[in-house]
Chain A
Amino acid sequence: MDILLILAYIIHASTPIVLVSLGELVSEKSGVLNLGLEGMMMIGAFSGFYVGYLTGNILLGIVASVLITGIFSLIHAFLTITLHSNQVVSGLALTFLGTGLASFSGRGFINTSAQSLQAIKIPLLSNIPILGVVFFNQNILVYFSYFVIFLILFFIYKTRPGLELQFCGESPSTSDTAGINITFVRYKAVVFGGMMAGLGGAFLTLADSSPWSDQITAGRGWIAVAIVIFGRWNPLLVGAGSYLFGALNSLQFKLQARGIDISPYILGMLPYLFTIVILSITSIKVISKRWGAPESLGNPYIREDRE
């Protein structure tokens, strides 16, 4: 079997995690931790599936899932930014609410599939040896995920709103003094994170030809949370981390199919084991520096309150 096709599949299968973790990265950069990714993905997966299935139009499904999940994430924004409630609790609530709502609405659609996006070859790029097959014979959402990686990289480090975003996550009181509207910046970041989670969810139902089921996300939202930490809040590393996770996840089945007798339990642990190892190594390297987490991550900002 062609190794390139396997790699191409890994890129495809990792894309939902890439999309969701990039959204979470932006939200966390602004200082808002959102543990509701799993729930938002479910909302995105179902609304995308539902609209796509009813209209037969995949694009409409994707747009619907992005909008609906964006609106859904406003719950988290309102609770944590406006009402200053605990971000962990609100995020968890969002996960349960989203998963429940999607499963409930999805009754009666089990094992039903919507239309699915097909791979489009990019004319020139797809002719590049090796890279062409792996990266440039994918569906449009995969291309979009490449674009978003670099877009966010540019936005965060090279633009003024991007710096303001980081500023809000590092030192909200200072940014407040500097005249940045923290509430507005954080709201935008959380909604963006929600939209990306919705897109990641829609990928599962509209680009992966998976039939609807109420466990369709299978914990990917949680993995995305871990990948943001693993990628140290850097879009490039987050993207790479997602692909690495996908590759390791795939490896356990490739080895079993070829009769390599390693216990599947060990193989199943590999991706997580690897995450732990990498986390340890990188933390030793930068032992003097900080981990890279936004300083005020998880803290609500209350003006004139002690931080």
Chain B
Amino acid sequence: MKRLTIIVLIALFSMIGCKKTNDQFKVAFVYVGSVNDGGWTASHDEGRLEIEKMFPDVQTSYVENVPEGAEAERIITTFAKKGFNVIFTASFGFMDPTINVAKKFPETVFMHCSGYKRAENVGTYFGRMYQAKYLAGIVAGKMTVTNKIGYIAPHPIPEVIRHINAFTLGARKVNPEASVRVIWTNSWFDIQKEKEAAYSLIEVGTDILASGCDSSAALVVAEEKGVKCIGYDSDARAVAKNTFLTAPMWNWISVYADIVGKAKNKEISDYTNVDYWNGLETNVIKLAPLSDLVPQDVKNIVTDTTQLIIQGEEKIFTGPLKKQDGSDFLSENEVADDGTLLSMMFFVEGVNGVIPLN
């Protein structure tokens, strides 16, 4: 009798399961961090939750804390086997695993964040975060008194270097005397290292602290020392009530909604040229609301510059620009193309610090 009950129960449950999965459009997310990291992965997961609200007939799933490499390939394969229609892989290190799995599942759409390899069923997406960093740089340049701005940087890769350069250009556009001192932590997320870096920057006279790392540790130090600060990835003004200025942030909702909508209607047959790399005009990146510490005239400059960037009238990497070592980067009115931006491995004039690989 007992056995019979169990069999009936199993049959019932598997029927429920089948019904639910068969007629739903399924979207999977593969995350490198935890969904509650308060930064990078959290921003992607907000996008996922929004997808569930916008498309009631879409079912989403995710796996968090996925190591980059072979393990990622296994997890992506599992999703593909289970019949997920779209799989988002949200870290640079998932690039090759995504491409490898995509070859075996031609019917599934794969979207990889921040990479450059595409295929017939693999597209890429990212955001022009450097634009928001530029705006944050303008705030820093306007508000520094010592003209020394500190920047706590994670890994020396083109993305981070591009951010530092854009931040520096923003600061020096409004304050040519300003310079940006960079300290590397060689980690995306390490509270102790970020704190140490913050203390060290304050010791040498930095009066604005900007972080490119994922934790809010630098803001805590800034608050303790009464130094103004700029966050990254999340609006962490709660930890630095008296010193927080703003924070460049990600907002993936528009990108995810667009991709899922198009994939549902099978609008795209070939993803080889599908590359989302938008900026302020689409909201994929934004600046957290400027705090009350920022004077009205600075707020106006930021608003105006935002408009100019959206209209395409102001390009951030426009000549004349010099590299850190004094050599020419861009001549008068020359605009750096996307290729240059994506492979940027040098600092511009005004940055103090070295790129470890050089």
Question: Quick check: is A305 within 8 A (CB to CB) of the other chain?
Answer: no
* Contact A254:B217 (CB < 8 A) given known A111-B234, A113-B239, A259-B353: no
User: Complex Cα distance A238/B157, Å?
Assistant: 37
Q: Is the beta-carbon distance between A103 and B34 smaller than 8 angstroms?
A: yes
Chain A residues whose CB sits within 8 angstroms of the CB of B199 once the complex forms? 9, 253
Question: Quick check: is A178 within 8 A (CB to CB) of the other chain?
Answer: no
User: Complex Cα distance A249/B196, Å?
Assistant: 9
User: Complex Cα distance A253/B197, Å?
Assistant: 5
- Pick from A13, A110, A258, A259: contact of B196, CB below 8 A: A13
Question: Quick check: is B186 within 8 A (CB to CB) of the other chain?
Answer: yes
Chain A residues whose CB sits within 8 angstroms of the CB of B150 once the complex forms? 257
Q: Is the beta-carbon distance between B220 and A211 smaller than 8 angstroms?
A: yes
User: Complex Cα distance A110/B216, Å?
Assistant: 10
Q: Is the beta-carbon distance between A218 and B184 smaller than 8 angstroms?
A: no
Question: Quick check: is A265 within 8 A (CB to CB) of the other chain?
Answer: yes
Question: Which residues of A235-279 are within 8 A (CB) of B?
Answer: 249-250, 252-254, 256-259, 261, 263-265, 268
Question: Quick check: is A214 within 8 A (CB to CB) of the other chain?
Answer: yes
Q: Which residue of B lies closest to A9 (CB)?
A: B199
Q: Is the beta-carbon distance between B183 and A110 smaller than 8 angstroms?
A: no
Question: Which residues of B338-358 are within 8 A (CB) of A?
Answer: 352-354, 356
Question: Which residues of B185-216 are within 8 A (CB) of A?
Answer: 186, 189-193, 195-197, 199-201, 203-204, 215-216
Q: Is the beta-carbon distance between A1 and B203 smaller than 8 angstroms?
A: yes
Chain B residues whose CB sits within 8 angstroms of the CB of A218 once the complex forms? 190-193
Q: Is the beta-carbon distance between B36 and A209 smaller than 8 angstroms?
A: no
Question: Quick check: is B38 within 8 A (CB to CB) of the other chain?
Answer: yes
Question: Quick check: is B230 within 8 A (CB to CB) of the other chain?
Answer: no
Q: Is the beta-carbon distance between A213 and B224 smaller than 8 angstroms?
A: no
User: Complex Cα distance A218/B186, Å?
Assistant: 13
B89 to chain A, nearest CB (A): 21
Chain A residues whose CB sits within 8 angstroms of the CB of B36 once the complex forms? 103, 106-108, 110, 214
Q: Which residue of A lies closest to B199 (CB)?
A: A9
Q: Is the beta-carbon distance between B239 and A250 smaller than 8 angstroms?
A: no
User: Complex Cα distance A220/B193, Å?
Assistant: 12
User: Complex Cα distance A213/B150, Å?
Assistant: 23
Question: Quick check: is A215 within 8 A (CB to CB) of the other chain?
Answer: yes
* Contact A209:B220 (CB < 8 A) given known A13-B196, A110-B36, A111-B38: yes
Question: Which residues of B236-261 are within 8 A (CB) of A?
Answer: 236, 238-239
Chain B residues whose CB sits within 8 angstroms of the CB of A264 once the complex forms? 183-184, 186, 356
- Pick from B192, B196, B217, B352: contact of A211, CB below 8 A: B217
Chain A residues whose CB sits within 8 angstroms of the CB of B239 once the complex forms? 111, 113, 211
User: Complex Cα distance A259/B42, Å?
Assistant: 34
User: Complex Cα distance A103/B64, Å?
Assistant: 12
- Pick from B197, B220, B356: contact of A113, CB below 8 A: B220
Q: Is the beta-carbon distance between B191 and A216 smaller than 8 angstroms?
A: yes
User: Complex Cα distance A250/B38, Å?
Assistant: 26
Question: Which residues of A1-15 are within 8 A (CB) of B?
Answer: 1, 6, 9, 13
Question: Quick check: is B133 within 8 A (CB to CB) of the other chain?
Answer: no
Chain A residues whose CB sits within 8 angstroms of the CB of B42 once the complex forms? 110
B281 to chain A, nearest CB (A): 29
Question: Which residues of A193-252 are within 8 A (CB) of B?
Answer: 209-211, 213-216, 218, 220, 249-250, 252
Mask, A143-180, CB within 8 Å of B = 1, is 00000000000000000000000000000000000000
Question: Which residues of B17-64 are within 8 A (CB) of A?
Answer: 34, 36-38, 42
Q: Which residue of A lies closest to B152 (CB)?
A: A253
- Pick from B195, B203, B236, B354: contact of A263, CB below 8 A: B354
- Pick from A111, A249, A257, A261: contact of B354, CB below 8 A: A261
Chain B residues whose CB sits within 8 angstroms of the CB of A254 once the complex forms? 200, 203
Q: Is the beta-carbon distance between A215 and B189 smaller than 8 angstroms?
A: yes
User: Complex Cα distance A106/B35, Å?
Assistant: 12
Chain A residues whose CB sits within 8 angstroms of the CB of B356 once the complex forms? 263-265
- Pick from A209, A213, A214, A253: contact of B200, CB below 8 A: A253
- Pick from B182, B192, B203, B236: contact of A13, CB below 8 A: B192
Mask, A58-97, CB within 8 Å of B = 1, is 0000000000000000000000000000000000000000
Chain B residues whose CB sits within 8 angstroms of the CB of A261 once the complex forms? 354
A305 to chain B, nearest CB (A): 40
Question: Quick check: is B162 within 8 A (CB to CB) of the other chain?
Answer: no
Chain A residues whose CB sits within 8 angstroms of the CB of B183 once the complex forms? 253, 256-257, 264
Chain A residues whose CB sits within 8 angstroms of the CB of B197 once the complex forms? 253, 256-257
A301 to chain B, nearest CB (A): 38
Question: Quick check: is B286 within 8 A (CB to CB) of the other chain?
Answer: no
Q: Top 10 A-B pairs ranked by shortest CB distance?
A: A257-B200, A1-B203, A110-B38, A253-B200, A264-B184, A253-B196, A256-B183, A263-B356, A257-B204, A111-B38
Known: A13-B196, A103-B36, A213-B38. 16 other contacts (CB 8 A): A6-B203, A107-B36, A110-B36, A110-B37, A210-B217, A211-B236, A213-B37, A218-B193, A249-B192, A250-B196, A253-B183, A253-B197, A256-B182, A256-B197, A257-B201, A258-B204
